[in-house]
Chain A
Amino acid sequence: MSRARRLPRPLHPVAWWVWALGLAVAASRTTNPLLTGLVIAVAAVVVARRRPDAPWAAGFRMFLVLGLTVVAIRVVLRALLDGSADGHVLFTLPEVPLPEAAAGIRLGGPVTAEGLLAALYDGLRLAALIVCFGAASSLADPKRLLKHLPGALHELGVAATVAVAVAPQVVVSAGRVRRAHRLRGATVHRRHVLRALAFPVLEDALERSVALAAAMDARGYGRRAAVPASWRRATAVCTLAGLAGICVGTYGTLDATAPRALGLPVLAAGAALAAAGLLLAGRRVRRSIYRPEPWLAPEWGVAACGVLAAAVLVTSGATDALHPPLQPLTWPSLPPGPTVALLVAAAPGWIAPPPERTPAPADTAPATPAGRRAREVAAA
C-alpha cells in the first residue's frame, strides 16, 4: 500500500527460498500433470516478473531446459524399456532378445500409451522440482543468503563466500598475467604455458588470500566472544546429543520394524537439541550486520504463499485427483483446492517489491552496490 513498499528493493532471500521450497513440496505431492504444469508456470511467471538483473539470476532458462530434458529422457527410456505389454499399444519397436537372466526386462517391443503417460507424469513432477529450485536460485542472491546463516555456522558461511569468489578471481588474475606477458612482448610457448601462466596465477591467488586474511583480521573476523566454560560444555552436549538423536530418529522412521517411539519423537527431540546447540554456539560469535535486510509485509506474504501451497497439497492426501490413475486410463482432474492454492502461489509476482534494475551502461545514475558487484562479476 505505502509508497515505500513499491520502491525497488531486493526481497529477503530467505522469503524467496521459503516460497520456492513450499512450491517444491507441493509439486512432490502430486503426479497430476495439470498441477505440476501449473507449478512450472507459476514459477516461470514469478521469475519473469521479479528476477533481478544480476548474472547469477540469468540461469532460469537453463533450469527450464534441464526440466524438459528430464521429461524427454524419461519418456524415451520408458518407450525403450516399457516393461508391461498391457494397455493401448501405440506402436511397436523392434525387440532385442535378452538372456533368461534378464527376465522381466524387455528392450524394445510394444510401446503403450499408459507407459508413456506414466513417464510423462513422473518426469513432469521431477521437472517441476528442478524448476522450483531454479526459481529460488534466480530470485535470491546466494551471497546474501549466506549472510543469514545462524551464528554458529558463521565460519562455514565465510568459507563458502570466499570459495564462491575464487573462480572469478582466478579468471581475473589469469587475464592480468597474460596481459602482462603481452605488454612485455613475450610470446608464451605452448610447452611453457604451465610455468608461464599457472605459477603467476597461483602466486597471485596466494597473495590475494593473504591480503584477504589480513583484511578480515583487521575487521575482527575470527574473534571469539568470551563464553564461560559451562556454556561451552552445554553447547557440546546439546550438539552431540542432538546429532545422535537425529541419527536414531531417522533410522526409526525409515525402518518399518523399529518401535514407533524410536521414530518421529526421537527425531524431533534430536532436532530440537541440535537447534539449541546451534543457538548456544552462536553466542561465541558476535556480528554486526552491514546493511541489514528488513523482513516486512511483502516477505511475510511471499513466504506465506509458498507455505499455503505446500500445506494444501500435503493435507489433501494421496487421492485420485492428485494421482490420476492410468489403469484404467482416466482424464486428470483439476481439484479446486490445490489449483487455487497454486494460483495463489503466483501472487509473489505482484506482491513482492520490483527488483532493482541495473541501469543501462550510458546511464550516469549511481549504481547500487549490488549492481556494481554484479557488473564486476559479469566483467570477470
Chain B
Amino acid sequence: MTRARRRTAAAAARARAALVAVAVAALGVSPAVPGLPAPAPAAAATDGPCTDPDGVTVVVDFQQLGGGVHVRCAPPPVTSGFDALQRAGISYRTALTQPGFLCRIADRPEDDPCVTTSPADAYWSYWLAPRGGTWCYSNFGAGNRVPPPGTVEGWSFALDAAATSVPPPSVAPPPPLPGVPPTPLPARDCTTPTSSAPPPTTGPAAPDAGGAGAAGGGAAPAAPGTASGGGGPGPAPGTPGTTTAGATPAPATTTTAPTAPGGTGAPAAPGDSRARDAAAATVDLGETGDTGSPVAVAAGAGLVATLGAAALVAARARRRPAPGAGP
C-alpha cells in the first residue's frame, strides 16, 4: 500500500519535472529534459524467449549490419512496440521529425542521421508473430500498437530490399510455452498469410512458414484460424490447432537459439551472412549515444538571451527621438 503510494508520488514528481522542463523549453530558455528518469522497466529484461506467458518476446536481427540475431524478453505489461524494446533493454532511436519511426537499434546503422524517416533501401522493418507462428509484416507502427501479451515482435534490418522481399528476422518465432496456448495476433495487426496462397505483400513470410521447422510449420495454419475466427484470445476456434502446436514444440525448444534455423532460414538472408552475424553477436543492445550535458544548453541559452537583449536595446534606442530633433 505505502509502496504503491510512494510509487504514484514518484510518478507525479516525474511528470511535474517533465512538465516544467517542456514549459521552460517552450519559452526558449532551455530545453531541459534529460534530467528526467527514463520510464524504468518494472522487472529486469531476460535473454532468450519469454518464459512468462504474458511477456513479449523481442527478436532483433541486424542482418547485414553485422550485429547478429538477438532474442530477448520484455516483461509485462508492455504498452507499445517501442515499450517492448525498452523493457527488453534494447536501446533504439526514432527519427527527429517522425517520432513514430524507428531509425536505429543499439545505435545502428550509424550512418542514418535520424532526422527524417530512413531511406527506403536501408531501414528497420517491423514484424509480428504469435509464438510458434510465422512472421508477418506489421500494418502498424511500433508506437501505434499494443502487443498482445505472449506474442513475438521482430525487428529486421532491410538493406536494398525490394518492397516484396523484405527479409523477416532470420530466426523463427519461438515456440509456444509448454501447456500454454499461444496468443493469436489481432486480425488487423498484420496481413497473415492465408493457408498456402499468401498475398503478395506478405511474400517473405510465406516461405519461412514452410522452412521454419516442424513446430513452426504445424502452428502456422492454426494462427490465422484463431485470429480471424475469434478476434480475441478466445481459444475456441483454434483449440485443436494450437494444442497440437503446443504439444509438438516441446522437443524443439532447444533449437530456437539465434543460430538454430541456419539450414532452413528465410530465402532473403543468405546463410553465410548469418554465420558471420553469429560470430559478431557481441553487440551491446543497450548501447546509446552520448546524452550531452546541460552546460551547453545554459551557454547557448545565455548567448541567445544576450543577443536578444542587444536587439531590444537597439530597437528601444532608435525609437527614442534623436537629441535635438524634436520641436
Contact call B113/A323, Cβ cutoff below 8 A: yes
Contact of B293 with A84 in the complex, beta carbons under 8 Å? no
Given A118-B96, A325-B93, A331-B291: A83 and B144 within 8 A (CB)? yes
Bound-complex Cα distance A123 to B296 (A)? 21
Which of A45-53, A149-157, A371-379 is found at the contact surface with chain B?
Answer: A45-53
B85 to chain A: closest residue by CB: A86
* CB neighbors of B among A102-118 (8 A): 103-104, 106, 112-118
Q: A37-B28, A84-B100, A360-B326 are in contact. Are A100 and B188 (CB under 8 A)?
A: yes
Does any Cβ of A come within 8 Å of B250's Cβ? no
Which of under 10, 10 to 19, 20 to 34, or 35 or more describes the interface residues of A? 35 or more
What's the Cα separation between A117 and B18 when bound, in Å? Answer: 11
**Does the CB pair A328–B91 fall under 8 Å?**
yes
Q: Which residues of the partner chain A approach B326 to less than 8 Å between Cβ atoms?
A: 360, 362
Check A323 against B82 for contact (C-beta < 8 Å): no
Report the minimum CB–CB distance from B219 to chain A (whole Å).
26
CB of A148, distance to nearest CB on chain B (Å): 27
Residue in A84, A88, A343, A349 whose beta carbon sits within 8 Å of that of B36 in the complex: A88
Give the bracket for the number of chain B residues in contact with chain A.
Answer: 35 or more
A324 to B321 alpha-carbon distance, docked (Å): 45
Q: Give bound CA distance, A84 to B140, whole Å.
A: 11
What is the CA–CA distance of A359 and B325 in the complex, to the nearest angstrom?
8
> In the complex, what distance in Å separates the CA atom of A118 from the CA atom of B95?
9
Chain B positions within 8 Å of A319 at CB level: 113
Among A193-201, A229-237, A281-289, A332-340, the stretch in contact with B: A332-340
CA distance A48 to B313 in the complex (A): 8
Chain B residues, Cβ within 8 Å of A112: 99
* Best-surrounded residue of B25, B36, B114, B300 (most CB of chain A within 10 A): B300
Cβ of B244 < 8 Å from any Cβ of A? no
- A324 and B144 within 8 A (CB): no
* Cα distance, A233 to B200, chains bound together (Å): 56
Which residues of A from 296 to 352 have beta carbons under 8 Å from B?
A: 318-320, 323-334, 339, 343, 346, 349
| CB-based contact A41/B96 at 8 Å | no
The yes or no answer to A357 lying at the interface (CB within 8 A) is: yes
Tell me if A117 and B300 are in contact (CB < 8 A): no
Chain B contacts for A106, CB-based, 8 A: 144
Q: Among A104, A113, A327, A362, which residue has the most Cβ atoms of chain B within 10 A? A: A327
| A253 CB, min distance to chain B CBs, angstroms | 15
Any chain B CB within 8 A of the CB of A34? yes
* Residues of chain B contacted by A327 (CB below 8 angstroms): 92-94, 99
Residues 15-48 (chain B) with a chain A CB within 8 angstroms: 15, 18-19, 21-22, 25-26, 28, 31-34, 36, 38-39
B26 contacts A120, CB within 8 Å?
yes
In the complex where A86-B83, A318-B115 touch, is A116 in contact with B289 (Cβ < 8 A)?
no
Selected contact of A48 from candidates B28, B115, B314, CB within 8 Å: B314
Kindly state whether residue A295 has any CB partner on chain B within 8 Å.
Answer: no
Contact B300 A118 (CB under 8 A): no
Query: Is B315 on the interface with A (CB-CB < 8 A)?
Result: yes
* Chain B hits for A334, CB < 8 A: 296-297, 299-300, 303
Q: B280: which A residues are within 8 A, CB to CB? A: none
| B321 and A117 form a contact (CB under 8 A) | no
Contact in complex: A363, B94 (CB < 8 Å) = no
A359: chain B residues at CB < 8 Å are 325
Q: Does A31 contact B (CB under 8 A)?
A: yes
Cross-chain pair count, CB within 8 angstroms = 201
Whole-angstrom distance between the alpha carbons of A91 and B14 in the complex?
Answer: 11
Contact call B139/A84, Cβ cutoff below 8 A: no
> Which of B163-171, B174-182, B232-240, B304-312 makes up part of the contact surface?
B304-312
Given contacts A83-B99, A86-B82, A90-B19, contact A38 B31 (CB under 8 A): no
A333 touches B296 (CB 8 A): yes
Most buried by A among B28, B97, B290, B322: B28
- Shortest beta-carbon distance from A38 to chain B in Å: 6
> Within 8 Å of chain A (Cβ to Cβ): is B263?
no
The answer, among B25, B79, B99, B308, for a CB contact under 8 Å with A41, is B308
Q: How far is the CB of A67 from chain B (nearest CB, A)?
A: 11
A44 at the interface (CB under 8 A from B): yes
What is the minimal beta-carbon distance from B67 to any residue of chain A, in angstroms?
18
Complex: how many Å from CA A336 to CA B34? 21
B80 pairs with A84, CB closer than 8 A: yes
Binding site for B on A (CB under 8 A): 31, 33-35, 37-38, 40-42, 44-45, 47-49, 51, 75, 82-91, 100, 103-104, 106, 112-118, 120-122, 124, 256, 318-320, 323-334, 339, 343, 346, 349, 357, 359-360, 362-363
Footprint of A on B, CB under 8 Å? Answer: 14-15, 18-19, 21-22, 25-26, 28, 31-34, 36, 38-39, 79-80, 82-83, 86, 91-94, 96-97, 99-100, 113-115, 120, 139-141, 143-144, 188, 288-294, 296-297, 299-301, 303-304, 307-308, 310-312, 314-315, 318, 321-322, 325-327
Q: Which 6 A-B pairs have the closest CB atoms?
A: A84-B143, A34-B300, A318-B113, A41-B307, A86-B82, A331-B292
Interchain residue pairs with CB less than 8 A apart (5):
A35-B300, A48-B311, A88-B39, A91-B19, A334-B296
